[in-house]
Structure 1
Amino acid sequence: MALIAPLAFAGAAHAELLKFETRPDGANEAVRATVRLDGTSYDIAGTLAKPAKPPSGGATSILIETQSSEDIKPLALERGLAVLTLDVGKLPDKARAPALRDVLGHLRGALKMKRVLGRAQGSDADAMSDAASAFNGLLLHDASREPAAPTRFIATWGADAYWREKPRVEFANAAPPNGRRFYLAGIAASTATANCVAPTNARPSAPTQRALFAAFDEWTAKGVAPPASRAPLDSDLAPAQDLKWPKIPGLPAPPEGARRVPRIDADGNEIAGLRLPDLALPVATFTGFNAKKDKKGPPCAAGAAIPLAATKVDREKNADPRPALVERYGSRAYFVATMRVIADKLVKERLLLHQDADAYVAAARSAPF
């Protein structure tokens, strides 16, 4: 079904939406759009999913994603939003913002949506920020730019942002009134194990992203303010060469180069930002960097996770300076009970959903004591 007839948009963007079609594709609808930008036509594929139980009168809110993800989509559908995944990867970087701004600005009316939210990461997140006028709110991960008011936003990033070849540069000021910032301490975006010398840091960001989406939904729909930002201040950062890393067996050397990074504790875990239960009660040292196993091979994109020893005897065998699990927690029962307290506190602060809190507690019962 063709929803949009050829339509030109005036102004510097030079965007023209030639076609927008949907067709049934199982429980969803396949989407195909053709956009002309500065005389060149591009095809954009996507998928439109609608809530099984839409609000009275039908879904009038939609989440636009540039990458398919099951972290947020089920929750958005459960909360009555439609979800449109648009693959803008074939568009040149300079064309993504004009396409999102002008095309989605028109699709708002075509799809009869009163509230349009966006979610993206990296360069796509920057494009969404540049196209902020098309959205009521944006969920951005690892973005270098943020939208101006009145568009509301929640920005997140993880430890790898400080350790990559081109490290993150912090914003000079705190988040503006239309935004919140959350640093996901000890979480790395990639969990790929290819060519990595140390065990991979596989801590997920999904629990935080789900809780922040729920808060963001309330903020943009009902005006309920989200939790306060949890991001490093200047005093929480230090020159990378000034960090005092514990002499942990198997810990890769941090990348060289001038950069300011979050301060660490005696275990080598980061102190600032949002510390989820598995970092507040760690069973390993989690970093945003790793090292290549084969020097001639591709870069290792993941962070590292160096497990804590179970007992004092185990750690002394390896000359590990970090207290073992039994030394720091005493017993599994204490570990599980404390995990419950920490997880429930984050639920009250709206930084964790009940089901994810329960998952952390369940995982604690399997900790390697």
Structure 2
Amino acid sequence: MRARARRAALLASLAFAGGAHAEFVKFETRTNGAEEAVSATVKLDGESYEIAGTLLKPAQPLASTKSILIEMQPSDNVKPLALEHGLAVLTLDLAKLPDKAREPALRDVLGHLRGALKMKRILGRAQGADADAMSGAASAFDGLLLEDATREPAAPTRFIATWGADAYWREKPRIEFVKSAPPNGRRFYLAGLVSSTTATNCVAPINARASAPAQRALFVALDEWTAKGVAPPASRAPLDSDLAPAQELKWPKIPALPSPPQGDRHVAKIDVDGNEIAGLRLPDLALPIATFAGFNAQRDKKGRRCVAGAALPFAATKADREKNADPRASLVERYGSRAYFVATMRIVADKLVKERLLLQKDADAYVAAARSAPF
């Protein structure tokens, strides 16, 4: 009962989110197996908004470091790992709140949570606009894992920021931060990765490379940084010399390659295969079996907009590529045999593990996938 009362107080604190015109209306909680669902209704400027959350507790909490991870989008990329590390995980949905109310809502909720639940550390993870809201409410957090954010938190809040190729190729491209990351932050460009891997109505095959392995390793780095003071790996973000005007890139004449988006944009430079050079190159880009682009094209002009990247596989043999007039070396030409490919994948993956940019479990998964390479 005491725990439920504390949670009720936590959600009731939302009454003050967004200024003097907020009013707490309702709070409900119910147990659903291992999860606890929480919901609240608040009025902001006379309008009612629903706030929902799901709280998960670790099976074996670490009593010495009572910590919680706040997520703004439900995801299994990091949540199981956080629970394994002894953190509770609260998935909090503020999507129905007006944009101007999200930052004060976060500050108020988490400020109360720290005291009511006696939390020593609060970490946050979010993407896009939600990541910007977390940056604005950074004073409520000890550390943030931000994906595709346009804002960064001020010290003393520590942060690790990531973004992918689509940030440069989308309709409103990313504008680079002028200076290098401040002492309280790290920046990682995930080369050849895109935020959406399930888009429809696209001309070319979808670039489905997963960012989860990088996110998991960087979460562990953030956890150790905020809990033990262990500095994370150095940033791997493009320098000015790593970017170029989009129209200056020399793409190989790949069959079925969509036309790159036009407009005044600076994008990551590419190699002879069309793969990006700068940033954090995960094993499946360091040893690619395809060209992974940060853009695609819309198949049906009247249908939904294609927001995915493209993946254009290499031919298996020299004869196959010559048959299709593909200038890129085939899998056999570049790797020789699958055995060599698998062995080299192990070397590349283990190096990233030593650099704390990949977890051993994910390194093993890359090697296992290499054993099924299409040649």
Classify the TM-score, shorter chain. over 0.9
1:248 aligned onto 2:218: no
* Cα gap change, 1:214 to 1:7, in 2 (>3 Å): closer
Separation in 1 of the partners of 2:21 and 2:74?
25
Q: What's the counterpart of residue 79 of structure 1?
A: 85
Q: Which amino acid aligns with 1:313?
A: A
Is the Cα–Cα contact under 8 Å of residues 14 and 42 in structure 2 kept in the other structure?
A: no
- 1:171-320 aligned at under 5 Å gives the runs 171-320=177-326
SS in 2 for 1:148: coil
Is the Cα–Cα contact under 8 Å of residues 14 and 108 in structure 2 kept in the other structure?
A: no
C-alpha displacement at 1:56, in angstroms? 3.2
Runs of 4+ residues over 6 Å off in structure 1: 8-12
Separation in 2 of the partners of 1:87 and 1:103?
12
C-alpha displacement at 1:260, in angstroms? 0.2
2:34 corresponds to which of 22, 27, 32: 27
State the TM-score, normalizing by the size of structure 1.
0.96
| Deviation digits for residues 131-159 of structure 1 (CA, Å, limit 9, x no counterpart) | 01111111100000000001000000010
1:45 aligned onto 2:83: no
1:134 aligned onto 2:155: no
1:357 corresponds to which of 352, 358, 363: 363
C-alpha displacement at 1:36, in angstroms? 4.1
SS in 1 for 2:358: coil
Is the Cα–Cα contact under 8 Å of residues 15 and 35 in structure 1 kept in the other structure?
A: no
Separation in 2 of the partners of 1:95 and 1:11?
7
Is the Cα–Cα contact under 8 Å of residues 164 and 191 in structure 2 kept in the other structure?
A: yes
Q: Which amino acid aligns with 1:85?
A: T
Unmatched segments (≥5 aa) in structure 2: none
Separation in 2 of the partners of 1:38 and 1:261?
42
Q: Which amino acid aligns with 1:183?
A: Y
- 1:5-16 aligned at under 5 Å gives the runs 5=9, 6-7=12-13, 13-14=19-20
Is the Cα–Cα contact under 8 Å of residues 73 and 93 in structure 2 kept in the other structure?
A: yes
Separation in 2 of the partners of 1:46 and 1:258?
41
Residue correspondences, number? 368
Percent identity reads 77
Separation in 2 of the partners of 1:7 and 1:312?
66
Q: What's the counterpart of residue 68 of structure 1?
A: 74
Taking only aligned residues, the RMSD between alpha carbons, in angstroms, comes to 1.7
Q: What's the counterpart of residue 345 of structure 1?
A: 351
Q: What's the counterpart of residue 128 of structure 2?
A: 122
| Deviation digits for residues 14-55 of structure 1 (CA, Å, limit 9, x no counterpart) | 485736553211111111133444454422111000001111
1:109 aligned onto 2:115: yes
Separation in 2 of the partners of 1:98 and 1:308?
50
Separation in 2 of the partners of 1:130 and 1:193?
29
Unmatched segments (≥5 aa) in structure 1: none
State the TM-score, normalizing by the size of structure 2.
0.94
SS in 1 for 2:144: strand
